[in-house]
Amino acid sequence: MKTVEGSGGGGAPAAVKRRRRDAPGRRRSGGVSVRRRVQVDATTAPAPLQRLLAACRRAFGGPGTEPAHDDVALIRDILDKMGAEDVHLRAVTKAAAASFPRTHPNPIITRITIYKCKNFSIVIFLLPPGAVIPLHDHPGMTVFSKLLLGSLHVTSYDWVNADGPPVAVGGGDRLLRLAKQVVDADLSAPCDALVLFPESGGNMHRFAAATACAVLDVLGPPYSGDRDCTYYQDLPYRHHHHDDDGDEAAGDGDVVPAATDDEQKPRLGWLLETRKPKELHMYEVPYRGPPILWKKRPAVDSWQQGP
């Protein structure tokens, strides 16, 4: 009969107790048994996550690399087929929920970094219902966003003229830049991944969670001390109209028809640079899922953790 630790009944032989006490993966601390975190065997790491890492390493060859068309298509295809189970989302969400008080007055957005190097990062964002990641940019970055769970509203813009100077309004104390809206849509999982580039595809975007959401992001290169995001407030185009803009478009729901019946000019808006909103609460939580691994040693050793 097998003796179960902690169960009632007679004691185990001294030799069995000694082996149990000295078993790997456990240590004694102040009379309390503490389980050490043992690296998960490579076979437990989800294959899609492994493939995603390999594709990103190929696509982002340096800190300033913009992926080739074929690499973008490959990463997007991998992400389109990924689901919550491929990142052990249930365990990740449980660990994040245990890290913060439930009575916090504002929604807490959790960021979990699965992998990061100087060329790219793979990150999960957890948004509770009602949480908003405000309008912000991605300087010199290519970003893939895959909604794994929930429903959210996405709004994104590109600059009309990326090299153009800002426009002073209101006596010159407010500097605005003209942007065109790229996305204004509700998304629900499962859905395809979104992709933005350094100057197109919706480089400035906002996420507003209608339900609890999980978003898997690939950012290349990642944010760093030298590459931080800027926050913006979007203002209706017609409130700050300039004659020099002609009839390019209007904002706040107005759309100017293009030359053909099948196409329409984009909505325009003025983006005002702002400070990080006080109501934004975003915290980093360690990733507790299986490691994604990439370097294979010769002989019998299996996969090793990447840098």
Residue 36 is predicted with a pLDDT of 31
Radius of gyration of the chain (CA): 25
- Residue 230, classed as helix, strand or coil, is coil
pLDDT of the residue at 239: 56
In this structure, what token pair is assigned to residue 198? Answer: 């350094």
Q: Judge whether 65 and 220 are in contact, CB under 8 Å.
A: yes
Structure tokens at 168: 């002073």
What does each C-alpha distance from 147 to 9, 31, 101, 191 come to in angstroms? 51, 45, 25, 7
How much is the pLDDT for 264? 59
Question: Could you give the maximum distance between any two Cα atoms of the chain, in Å?
Answer: 91
For position 155, what pLDDT does the model report?
96
Consecutive sets of 10 residues in the chain, 307 residues long: mean pLDDT of each? 39 47 41 32 64 94 85 97 91 79 76 92 94 94 96 96 75 79 95 95 96 96 86 80 43 40 69 88 83 52 35
Strand partners, 13: none
What CATH number is given for 47-239+266-284 in this structure? Answer: 2.60.120.10
Torsion of CA 51, 53, 59, 61, to 10 degrees: -140
What per-residue confidence (pLDDT) applies to 225? Answer: 78
pTM over 0.75: no
DSSP letters of 122-167? EEEEEE-TT-EEEEE--TT-EEEEEEEESEEEEEEEEESSTTSPPE
Q: What CA–CA distance (Å, rounded) separates 176 from 290?
A: 45
